[in-house]
Amino acid sequence: MTANDGDLQARAAQLGALLLERGWSVTTAESCTGGWIAKVLTDVAGSSQWFDRGFVTYSNEAKSEMLGVPAAELAVHGAVSEAVVAAMAAGAAQRAGSQCAVAVSGIAGPGGAAPDKPVGTVWLCWQVSGRIQTRVQRFDGDRDAVRRQSVAAALEGLLAAAGAGQ
């Protein structure tokens, strides 16, 4: 999946129109993307009507303190895991009072890989009206490419989940 800035902006605008139509808001909980999802969303004029806030929780401590991710989940599964992104999304949605949340945690590289989690491994979670969907992706490319693909996947997943969440 390759996305350029125009693709990301188009997806963000489409999501914003959908959220505005539904009267919903969205919040982000980001690790490896470092706020990039929130940046793309807030690049859309009028996003203050449907974007509530974003959490950049790069460290495990931030995930626990800001989003309530249990330390035990981090210790057992690691930050790049289904359990942790699900907890991140739930914590973000609860703290923001948003109907929609997206969470991302991954290994963008070049370091940080483990045998079971190579560079490019990214877990994503979408929570819409209390329903949670998770997915793991394996992205190719350098650090920037992995992060850009993560942002694109996060937006696409939000569009799909919010569109289905009638």
Name the nearest CA neighbour of 37 among 122, 138, 94, 136: 122
Q: Report pLDDT for 2.
A: 65
Whether the pLDDT of residue 71 is over 60: the answer is yes
What is the rounded distance in angstroms from the CA atom of residue 124 to the CA atom of residue 105? Answer: 7
| pLDDT of res. 140 | 97
pLDDT at 165: 58
Average pLDDT over residues 27-34: 98
Residue-wise pLDDT for 101-123, tens only, equals 999 999 999 999 998 999 999 99
Domain ranges across the chain: 26-164
Q: List for the chain the helix, strand, coil content (%; round to 5).
A: 50, 20, 30
User: pTM value?
Assistant: 0.96
Whole-angstrom Cα Rg for the chain: 15
Residue type, 100: C
The CATH number of the structural domain formed by 26-164 is 3.90.950.20
Whether the pLDDT of residue 59 is over 60: the answer is yes
Angle between helices 60-67 and 82-96 (to 10 degrees): 40
Say if residue 156's pLDDT is above 60.
yes
